[in-house]
Structure formats: structure tokens, C-alpha cells
């Protein structure tokens, strides 16, 4: 903390915190953040791990807990399962007692998902996603789908949902925002559920804090672990973004101010 806004009493100058800069962007040495949505970080957590845990795991946790109400024994399909939020969803899905089917575009990414707890693997570059989900669920379909990818993968999943299922709309990494023929939701009696972690943090700061406490406890107990693909200096932010855009990242990339490296 460099400086506190008027009326902020629960924080101190010099304190080490994590926060998310929803409004002003975060590719900077200093940012202004909402004092209600920052958390103290203890010395046993590195800067890289703290940055990694907050957004990706925070999103997957909120999606599976508050939005999907994922239950023990349910089948969870995770698209882009070796990506930042995807690998977090695999780990958190297992922590919540689900059977996790990881979906990735390469064998290397699938192996990483498996090492992070995935029970079943689908390579959607080579296999028919809808048919494989149906096979692996004995024709019933998925109880919950976590979709940060969109496009054709969303379309396949929208036809492989179980009755009372929850199809989570998390992001559109494929670049295509899909459309849903809503008769599918009617005939299968499933729900399409939007996820927007940034809105959740702003509107429900107390629940967000409870989530983060649970996540840090899981982190300390080894229930969730952080996969940092590469750490980039701030001056090479463009290279970090290019790696994401080229679909080369496994886990997260983290950008750190040059002076701290």
C-alpha cells in the first residue's frame, strides 16, 4: 500500500496485499483499487502465487460454488482445461467432490489436466466432443459444463447436458460468442448460467472474502496448486499476451514489474 483513500481505516501504508484492478487495468507498477476488495497476503505466499490464485482460481471457485452449486458425485466437464481458469476448475471441481472430464486441444495439455486431478480426458481437436461426453456419462450428459472457450465447443456441450444441468458461460477464448437454440434448454430442462467474477467481487465483497479465505486454506493444504507457465517482466507484457493468444500457455503467465525481478 502506497497511499490510502479517505476514510479507509482497515488497511495500513506499507501493507502487502492482493487486489484486482477491474477499472483501470493492471499492467502498471501502481494501480488504484477498491479498498473493500483487497486482501492481506502472508509472507509464506509469493507474489507470483498470490497473483495467480486470485483471478483464475477466484473465477473457477465462484463459478462452481455460487453459480453452478456443484454437488459431490456430479460430472463436471471443463473446456480449455489446461488454461488459467480451466486448470483451476479441474482442481476445485475435484476438491468439491465432482467427477471431472478435462477437455483440451493437445495431449500435452491433457496430461497436465490429468496431473491436476482430471478423471477423464477428451482431446477436442481429434474427438467428437458431444459424443465423447455422452459416452463418458453413459448417455446422461454432463451435470455441469465450465466453458471459458465458447464457439463450436459450446455448441457441442449445449447438446450434451444432463437434465437439471448447468452450462456455465465463462468466456470466449476461441474468439466466437456462440448462440444457443433455446429449445435445447427446454427439452433437456437445463440452465444456462452466466459467470462474471468482477461483478461478483464488486456486488458481494463479503462472499468474495469468504471465497478467498477458503481458496487460501486449500492452497496451504495443497488441495489447489498454482501452475505458472512463465513469469514476464512488465516491459515484455506484449510477449506475455502473444503467448496467451497463440494458445501456448499451460496454467497462467504472470507479469511482474521489472524492478521486482
Ligand X SMILES: NC(=O)c1ccc[n+]([C@@H]2O[C@H](COP(=O)([O-])OP(=O)(O)OC[C@H]3O[C@@H](n4cnc5c(N)ncnc54)[C@H](OP(=O)(O)O)[C@@H]3O)[C@@H](O)[C@H]2O)c1
**Could you identify the residue written with the cell 507479469?**
255
Site string for ligand X, 90-129 (x = CB under 6 A): --------------xx---x--------------------
Identify which of residues 12 and 180 has a Cβ nearer to ligand X in the complex. 180
All cell numbers assigned to 117: 486431478
The SS3 call for residue 26 is coil
Binding ligand X (rule: CB under 6 A), the pick from 212, 249, 254, 255 is 249
Task: Examine residue 172 and tell whether it contacts ligand X (CB under 6 A).
Answer: yes
Decide if 225 contacts 116 (C-beta within 8 A): yes
The SS3 call for residue 105 is coil
Q: Burial, 148: exposed, middle or buried (Cβ in 10 Å; 0-12, 13-18, 19+)?
A: buried
Work out how close the CB of 112 gets to ligand X at its nearest, in angstroms, rounded to a whole number: 10
Among residue numbers 196 through 215, which ones bind ligand X (CB under 6 A)? 196-198
Task: Examine residue 247 and tell whether it contacts ligand X (CB under 6 A).
Answer: yes
In this structure, how many other beta carbons lie within 10 angstroms of the beta carbon of residue 150?
A: 20
Binding ligand X (rule: CB under 6 A), the pick from 84, 93, 117, 141 is 84
Report d(CA 122, CA 136) in Å as an integer.
10
Binding ligand X (rule: CB under 6 A), the pick from 20, 37, 52, 59 is 59
User: Which span sits near ligand X by CB under 6 A: 138-146, 166-174, 201-209, 217-225?
Assistant: 166-174
Work out how close the CB of 89 gets to ligand X at its nearest, in angstroms, rounded to a whole number: 9
Binding ligand X (rule: CB under 6 A), the pick from 93, 117, 141, 148 is 148
How many residues touch ligand X under the rule CB under 6 A: the total is: 27
**Could you identify the residue written with the cell 493444504?**
221
CA angle 237-242-245, nearest 5°? 130
Report d(CA 117, CA 191) in Å as an integer.
26
Q: Which residues bind ligand X (CB under 6 A)?
A: 55-56, 59, 80, 82-86, 104-105, 109, 148-149, 170-175, 195-198, 244, 247, 249
Amino acid at each position: 500500500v502506497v497511499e490510502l483513500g479517505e476514510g479507509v481505516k482497515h488497511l495500513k501504508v506499507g501493507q502487502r496485499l492482493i487486489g484486482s484492478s477491474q477499472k483501470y487495468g493492471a499492467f502498471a507498477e501502481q494501480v488504484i483499487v477498491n479498498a473493500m476488495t483487497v486482501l492481506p497476503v502472508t509472507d509464506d505466499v509469493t507474489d507470483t502465487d498470490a497473483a495467480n490464485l486470485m483471478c483464475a482460481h477466484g473465477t473457477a471457485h465462484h463459478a462452481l460454488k455460487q453459480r453452478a452449486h456443484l454437488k459431490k458425485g456430479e460430472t463436471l466437464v471443463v473446456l480449455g482445461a489446461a488454461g488459467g481458469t480451466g486448470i483451476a476448475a479441474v482442481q476445485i471441481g475435484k476438491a468439491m467432490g465432482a467427477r471431472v472430464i478435462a477437455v483440451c486441444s493437445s495431449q500435452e495439455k491433457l496430461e497436465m489436466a490429468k496431473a491436476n486431478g482430471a478423471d477423464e480426458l477428451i482431446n477436442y481437436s481429434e474427438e467428437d466432443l458431444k459424443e465423447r461426453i455422452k459416452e463418458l456419462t453413459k448417455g446422461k450428459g454432463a451435470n455441469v459444463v465450465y466453458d471459458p472457450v465458447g464457439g463450436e465447443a459450446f455448441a457441442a456441450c449445449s447438446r450434451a447436458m444432463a437434465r437439471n444441468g448447468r452450462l456455465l458461460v465463462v468466456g470466449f477464448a476461441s474468439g466466437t460468442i456462440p448462440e444457443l437454440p433455446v429449445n435445447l434448454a427446454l427439452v433437456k430442462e437445463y440452465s444456462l448460467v452466466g459467470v462474471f467474477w468482477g461483478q461478483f467481487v464488486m456486488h458481494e465483497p463479503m462472499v468474495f472474502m469468504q471465497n478467498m479465505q477458503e481458496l487460501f486454506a486449500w492452497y496451504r493444504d495443497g488441495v489447489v496448486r498454482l501452475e505458472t507457465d512463465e513469469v514476464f517482466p512488465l516491459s515484455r507484457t506484449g510477449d506475455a499476451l502473444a503467448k496467451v493468444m497463440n494458445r501456448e500457455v499451460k496454467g497462467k503467465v504472470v507479469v511482474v514489474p521489472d524492478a521486482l525481478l
